[in-house]
Structure formats: C-alpha cells, structure tokens
Amino acid sequence: MKIGIIGGTGFYEMEGEEIEVETKYGNVNATHFKRGKRDVFFIARHGKAHAKPAHAVNYHANIMAMKNIGAKVIIGISTVGSMKKSIKPGSIFIPNDFIDFTKRHTTFFDNEAIHIDLSEPFCPVVRKILVNATKNAKEGVYVATEGPRLETKAEIAMFKKFGDVVGMTLVPEAILAREAGICYASICLVSNYAAGLQERLSIEEIKEMYRKRKVAIEKIVNKAIEKIPARRNCRCRYAAIEGKL
Ligand code: HPA
C-alpha cells in the first residue's frame, strides 16, 4: 500500500529519495521514504520554496502524480482560519464536508460525462483514522476560497453561516483525488481566527502557528499511516466508474 502526503510548505518534509514524476499536466517532485512497512510519497503542494500560491497550484499534476506513483491513499495537510470562537487557533480540524467558493477547474473529465458522488466527500475510513489519531479533533465544514487574498469581514460573516473554517487549498485537491479513485482525507491546522473574529490577520502569525504545531501534526500523520488498512474496502476507488453517464 503506497500512501501519499500532500502538505503545505513546512509540513511533513522528510528526508528520503527525491524523485520526479511525469504527468500530462506537468512534472512533479516527490520525496519517497519508508514509514514502518509503508511506502510514503510526499509532495509539497506549492512546489519547492512555496513558489506557487494556492490559486496557482497545479492540483491536477499533484493528484495525477500520486495516481502514477500508485498511491491508494492521500492525506492532505493544510492551514485554515477558524470562523467559530469554539475552534481556537492551534486546534486540529478534520473536515467532514466542504463548500466550494473557488473559481477553479475542478475535474479531470473534460470530454466525458462523469459526475462523481460527493455526498461523502472524504474517504470515510481514512477520515475516521485521522480523527481517532488526533486528541480533541474538531470536525465540521471547510469553506474553500479562491485566494490568494484573505477574506473580508463581510465574506466571513456570510461563510460562517455555512461552515466552520476557511481555507484555500482543499478544492480541487479532494475532488480530483476522488475522481482519480484515491482515498483522500484532510487534516488542517487552525492558524488564526478568520477576518472580523480577530483584530487583524498577519501572515507572520499563521507561520508562527505552524512552526509551533508542526511536530504535533507529523505525529498524528505518522500514527494515521500505521492504521491505514492494507486493503481498501470503501467505495472511493469506484467513483468515476459509478459516476459515468
Ligand atoms: N483564510 C483563508 N485561508 C487561510 C486562513 C484564513 O484566515 N488562515 C490560513 N489559511
């Protein structure tokens, strides 16, 4: 069982063999290492040195690279802003659903009528493993925004009626993984309260939070990797076949 990790800069960067994976969407750099008996492949979501901001990430290439490597499971790691006072900065949030406010291209299937079911947008097995691996995990709805700017207070006042946290990278990553038949679940570090819930937002504060919580996230991900079953018995891998018109 090969496991993929897609992380923001600074998350889960491990020593290992550097490889380059070809895809029809572009080449992707990955790091391969062993975690127990598992083969793990890490892709830095934004490319080397955080070159690409969230709206310009090559999500299609990243997911296709995981597919070409043979990864059956992906854990996505990212930071989010909290829209709820009860979800404090420093918390770990495991989304159970999302709302897409991006303007992105969210499919691999441009020439075929395939409508994947997203009633349960994350792999139920991997998601549960992440929740169980996390002490005091917060769960709820992730509102995906286009970025790269942060949100206005009015936007957050609206978004918080729909969801719990706000972030820029879950979409289309989770959707493309499902289209590719890869089990996907997400673990988010809450780095700040969203606009209007705190005085002002500073990028330094967001960076500081992930410096502080990086090791905790790595521990959770390592624990989760051990628990992922060798054989999949969820329906994620059939999504495209079942969605074909
Ligand atoms: N908004 C959007 N994305 C984010 C935030 C935020 O407040 N914090 C970290 N990622």
Mean pLDDT computed over 80-90: 97
Angle at 142 between CA 138 and CA 172, to 5 degrees: 135
**Amino acid 241: pLDDT:** 96
**Amino acid 49: pLDDT:** 67
Query: Strand ranges (DSSP E) for the chain?
Result: 2-7, 17-21, 28-35, 38-44, 71-82, 92-101, 138-145, 165-167, 183-193
In sequence order, which ranges of 5-115 are alpha helices (DSSP H)? 59-69
> Per the structure, how many domains does the chain have?
1
Mean pLDDT computed over 211-229: 95
Mean pLDDT computed over 189-203: 90
Mean pLDDT computed over 193-210: 88
**What is the percent of the chain with per-residue pLDDT over 70, rounded to a whole number?**
98
Closest listed residue to residue 45, CA positions, set 85, 87, 12: 12
Mean pLDDT computed over 118-136: 98
Instruction: Kindly give the number of the ligand 1 atom that is closest to the alpha carbon of 201.
Output: 7
- Nearest residue (by CA) to ligand 1, atom 5, is 81
Q: Which residues line ligand 1 (CB under 6 A)?
A: 79-81, 145, 150-151, 166-168, 191-192, 194, 201, 206
- Nearest residue (by CA) to ligand 1, atom 7, is 81
CATH code of residue 23: 3.40.50.1580
- Nearest residue (by CA) to ligand 1, atom 10, is 80
Q: What is the mean pLDDT of the chain?
A: 95
**21-75, pLDDT tens digit by residue?**
999 999 999 999 999 889 999 999 998 766 899 999 999 999 999 999 999 999 9
Torsion from C-alpha of 45, 51, 57, 63, nearest 10 degrees: -40
DSSP letter assigned to residue 198: B
**Amino acid 48: pLDDT:** 75
Residue 9 Cα to ligand 1 midpoint, Å, equals: 14
Instruction: Kindly give the number of the ligand 1 atom that is closest to the alpha carbon of 168.
Output: 3
- 91, 166, 213: residue to mutate for ligand 1 pocket, most atoms within 8 A of CB: 166
Domain enclosing residue 14, as ranges: 2-242
Residue 147 Cα to ligand 1 midpoint, Å, equals: 9
- Nearest residue (by CA) to ligand 1, atom 6, is 81
User: Between residues 37 and 189, which one has the greater pLDDT?
Assistant: 189
Tell me if the pTM is above 0.85: yes
Residues 236 and 119 sit within 8 Å (Cβ to Cβ): no
- 169, 190, 206: residue to mutate for ligand 1 pocket, most atoms within 8 A of CB: 206
**Amino acid 143: pLDDT:** 98
pLDDT greater than 80 at residue 182: yes
Residue 45 Cα to ligand 1 midpoint, Å, equals: 16
Backbone angles phi, psi at 145, to 5 degrees: -115, 160
